[in-house]
Structure 1
Amino acid sequence: MQYYTSPFNKEIELKFPKKITIYDTTLRDGEQTPGVCLDKQEKLEIAKKLDEFRIHQIEVGFPIVSKHEKDTVSTIAHEGLNADVLCLARTKISDINAALDCDVDGIITFMGTSDLHLEHKMHITRQEALNTCMKSIEYAKDHGLFVAFSAEDATRTDLDYLKRMYKKAESYGVDRVHVADTTGAITPQGMTFLIKELRKEINTNIALHCHNDFGLAVTNSIAGLLAGANDVSTTINGIGERAGNASLEELVMSLKLLYGKDLGFKTKIIKELSEMVSKDTGLEVPYNKPVVGKNIFRHESGIHVDAVIEEPLTYEPYLPELVGQKRQLVLGKHSGCRAVKAKLDDCGYNVTKDQLCKIVKRVKEKREEGQYINDDVFKDIIRNIDEPIDP
């Protein structure tokens, strides 16, 4: 048995779309994390690893930003990946031409649609915004691109206007519309309502681009899928502006194990993907980060360790190998005899019961003195026990 989740999950009837597309935006929105700048080789390596993971689509950059960015997008587009290669473009002909020069499979073109954005960022009317968006969609479709239209700040946009914008985009042949929760300001219940309302009006695919300002990006994404959306935007390690985006690893593993929706991804390389992005961006993964954090499969508490040694799923919802992790038993102030005995066995030491008790006592003391019990400290404890211990 590789995982064991709550049986109550199956008591609720849920309806996901038959096909779910995950498009990863680590290389575009993830790179907008303050202080992060990926070079061409780093982006290429991450894109290739995402392709190995079997991701469906990769948003690889924003080519109009710079000559270097355009060259990077073009390089990835010509790498021969199985994943569709997308890039970002404003609703400007110059941006779309830059994407065409790169030979990408498609674009995500965007415009703020909330009154907040229209008034204070772009200084245009709703009708002017609609006209500009449709011209861009028409131009991109005429040039053979896959076109997704993203309504920036969609979750704070007037509903009737949002419906009008998406319906018009659909009539212009857009392949997908994106609901961008730009400031992470919607609840799962609000997302459910919004997607159901949009589904009354449009038939084209709906994608979700959720930010994590309130820690709800993954939850909102799943709520949106259950309400009728088809596709989800993610980033590795959940990186991105402010609190980041919906985490690829959290979304994929939640769908696979909690909801029984296996999208065919090669989950065993999740940890490798996470470490690659962490190294290239310089953003350390929090120790308690779900799925990929260092502490997710580490156990110290004596009660926990005793149970985990006998059956790992007592304190793990799934086995670490599923995501490329390894289990670790950590010695510290909460360790008991069984954990210390397991560590002694790993090191090849045979001890008496009395010796074991002394070692456990010293392990606790050392940790409370502020020392981390690594292999060297542990062996030093063994050497300093009064009576000799047989190796």
Structure 2
Amino acid sequence: MSKQLIIFDTTLRDGEQSPGASMTRDEKIRIARALEKMRVDVIEAGFPIASPGDFEAVKAVAETVTESTVCGLARALEKDIDRAGEALKNAASGRIHTFIATSPVHMERKLRMRPDQVVEQAVWAVKHARRYTDDVEFSAEDAGRSDLDFLCRIFEAVIDAGATTINVPDTVGYNMPWQFGETIRQLIERIPNADKAIFSVHCHNDLGLAVANSLSAVMNGARQVECTINGLGERAGNASLEEVVMAVRTRQDVFDCDTRLDTTQIVPCSRLVSNITGFPVQPNKAIVGANAFAHESGIHQDGVLKHRETYEIMRAEDVGWSHNRMVLGKHSGRNAFRTRLEELGIHLETGEELNEAFARFKELADKKHEIFDEDLQALVTDRGLEKINERVKLMALRVCSETGETPRAELTLSIDGEEQTTAAEGSGPVDAAYKAIEALVQTGADLKLYSVNAITSGTDSQGEVTVRLEKGGRLVMGQGADTDIVIASAKAYINGCNKLLDAGQRAHPQGAADV
């Protein structure tokens, strides 16, 4: 059995199905480059049939990434597979990932197909995908609730048809670790041609067991794990890449395999994904949370000072906590700025983009003494988000908030090139600013989420604000960053408004595919 555990990252596909986490083409490329730098084996870049935007994103990632395999998802349908094949045709290494549901409830209620028809369709899909690439993965959607005998039957058939990876998803996070591990063991033992394919797992976290189920599967012979950065994903999320990788790496006394990942890139990649999606990482999150290697208890501090391994089973440096602390300031030059961006996996394509980003850097440096990597990530992401659509721009904002008085905001926006000014009162300065913006833009959206996160420590830290707006069933995420939290809040709301006003913004992929 192979000693390498293949890491299949689906942050750009399944992770994007989190409500409000939809990414632009350029954002997907940035994350893909970070994943490639981390030496992730397979990057699932998206679902090409979902929309023209998703097709272009998968195509762009396939043309950018050279060291990792780039994968596109496709239902077991001709149009899906052809679209995926077209998106991946320029990939240095491409994979088509096709799937069909196999549980009784899915076959009967969703597909309205008999088991024989499902097997026939799966075999046809794999053969059709082989016209584009020899690297074909087949997934049995809702395998966690499927009949074991039927799984053996369909997997044997698709391996004969040319599938090289067999994925066993716990689509709704229903399985228990011992149960899921036993399923993997039996599949490998009972399928006659199991040795001709790599067995993979894709676990969801509805019961908080995605990582446990994935590791149980590895213990029982699975050699690919499908996961996401920060455990991002629809509903309760997917198996967390950083937790799976570091569990296997740390417990080599238990696991007879390991990944090829450069684990020092985990924290930088986590921050990038958090920054782009607007989903902050909880402080007590394993591996990448701010408190993951912090010790406040006197007993713990004493023990760590005497011998680190008394309370730490991993080194913070091994997952990237200390190596990337590069402080820039207002006296830093353009070359140092560009070099650090490239080290962070941020590539500005033109001199104009570099000049614009450098000017924003200098503007920020005048406001705060030290600029950290997190500030640079926020600075570039903030600008990238604005490029989606700039029909609405913040020109000026003045707020008044004092004890015993009703907060008031005076606001000037540029809307389609025309400046408009208004004022509004609210329960606080942010509420007043939002009411003033809405009075001018009139999106009619409901504010579903307002979140503030300090990017770095200190009172001069940039505040990063995330909002989630909903209108007519459509969810969009808006982000803004500034050392002034009210201005950051206004930027975030305006960013969300621009997304709502952008007719070209694709529908959210939620519900398009759930593997």
1:230 aligns with 2:212: no
Rg larger in 1 or in 2?
1
**1: CA distance, partners of 2:120 / 2:322:** 54
Deviation readout 1:98-128 (Å, 9 max, x if unpaired): 1121125111101110011111211111111
Deviations 1:363-387 (A, max 9, x none): xxxxxxxxxxx878xxxxxxxxxxx
Q: Secondary structure at the match of 2:64?
A: coil
1:183 equivalent in structure 2: 172
Q: Distance in 1 between matches of 2:37 and 2:59?
A: 19
Q: 1:39 aligns with which of 21, 24, 33?
A: 24
1:120 aligns to 2:109 (yes or no): yes
Amino acid at match of 1:167: E
Instruction: Give the alignment of 1:46-125 within 5 angstroms.
Output: 46-102=31-87, 103=89, 104=91, 105-125=94-114
Is it true that 1:272 corresponds to 2:299 in the alignment?
no
Provide the rounded CA distance (Å) in 2 between the counterparts of 1:258 and 1:232.
16
Partner of 2:120: 131
1:177-233 Cα deviation digits (max 9, x unpaired) = 110100111112112221121112132211101111122211211211221222110
Higher helix share: 1
Partner of 1:284: 280
Q: Secondary structure at the match of 1:81?
A: coil
Q: Aligned-pair distance for 1:142?
A: 2.7
Counterpart for residue 214 of structure 2: 221
Larger deviation: 136-145 or 273-282?
136-145
Which protein has greater RCO, CA pairs closer than 8 Å, 6+ apart? 1
Return the offset for 1:17: 3.7
Distance 2:258 2:160 in 1: 33
Q: CA deviation at 1:39?
A: 0.5
Aligned residues: 315
Aligned counterpart in structure 2 of residue 240 of structure 1, from 217, 223, 233: 233
Which of 175, 193, 203 is residue 210 of structure 1 equivalent to? Answer: 203
Aligned to 2:259: 263
Contact 2:267 2:288 survives alignment (8 Å) = yes
| Identity among equivalent pairs (%) | 40
1:17 touches 1:229 (CA, 8 Å); kept in 2? no
Task: Note the aligned Cα RMSD (angstroms).
Answer: 1.7
* Counterpart Cα distance in 2 of 1:142 and 1:264: 30
Mapped partners of 1:28, 1:264: distance in 2 = 22
Q: Is there any run of 5+ residues in structure 1 with no aligned partner, and where?
A: 1-15, 328-373, 377-391
Say if 1:288 and 1:165 are closer, same or farther in 2 by CA, change over 3 A.
Answer: same
Segment drifting more, 259-268 vs 39-48 = 259-268
Aligned to 2:243: 250
CA distance in 1, matches of 2:51, 2:60: 14
Secondary structure of the residue aligned to 2:318 is helix
**In structure 2, how many angstroms separate the alpha carbons of the residues matched to 1:97 and 1:123?**
24
| Residue identity opposite 1:205 in structure 2 | I
Q: CA deviation at 1:314?
A: 2.1
Separation in structure 2 between the aligned mates of residue 68 and residue 288 of structure 1, nearest angstrom: 35
| Post-superposition CA distance 1:19-62 (Å, at most 9, x none) | 32111000000001111111111100100010000111100000
Deviations 1:241-272 (A, max 9, x none): 11111111001111001125442311111110
- Alignment partners' CA distance in 2, 1:155 and 1:134: 20
Within the candidate set 317, 329, 346, 2:313 is matched to 317
* Correspondence for 2:14: 29
Would the aligned equivalents of 1:297 and 1:326 in 2 still touch at CA under 8 Å? no
Cα distance in structure 2, aligned partners of 1:324 and 1:151: 35
Please give the alpha-carbon distance, in whole angstroms, between the structure 2 residues aligned to 1:22 and 1:227: 16
Amino acid at match of 2:121: T
Decide which structure has greater strand share: 2
Q: 1:208 and 1:25 mapped to 2: Cα distance?
A: 12
How many angstroms apart in 1 are the aligned matches of 2:287 and 2:252?
Answer: 16
Check whether the contact 1:27–1:61 (CA below 8 A) recurs between aligned residues. Answer: yes
- Using the TM superposition, give the Cα deviation of residue 144 of structure 1 relative to its aligned residue in structure 2, in angstroms: 2.8
Unaligned segments of structure 2, at least 5 residues: 324-456, 460-515
- Tell me the TM-score normalized by structure 1: 0.77
Decide whether the 8 Å contact of 1:17 with 1:225 is kept in 2: no
Measure, in 1, the Cα distance between the counterparts of 2:240 and 2:36: 17
Structure 1 pair 30/375, CA: closer, same or farther in 2 (3 Å)? closer
Q: Is the 8 A contact 2:168 2:201 kept in 1?
A: yes
Amino acid at match of 2:200: A
Find the partner of 2:304 among 297, 308, 319.
308
Question: TM-score when scaled to structure 2?
Answer: 0.59
The corresponding residue for 1:166 is: 155
Instruction: Say if 1:319 and 1:63 are closer, same or farther in 2 by CA, change over 3 A.
Output: same
The amino acid that maps onto 2:276 is: D
Whole-Å Cα distance in 2 between the matches of residues 135 and 318 of structure 1?
A: 47
- Partner deviation per Cα, 1:56-90 (whole Å, 9 max, x = no partner): 11000001011111111101101142000001001
Q: CA deviation at 1:145?
A: 4.2
Q: Quick one: which amino acid aligns to residue 280 of structure 2? A: E
Moved over 4 A (4+): none
Aligned partners of 2:139 and 2:167 also within 8 Å: yes
* CA distance in structure 2 between the partners assigned to 1:296 and 1:316 by the alignment: 10
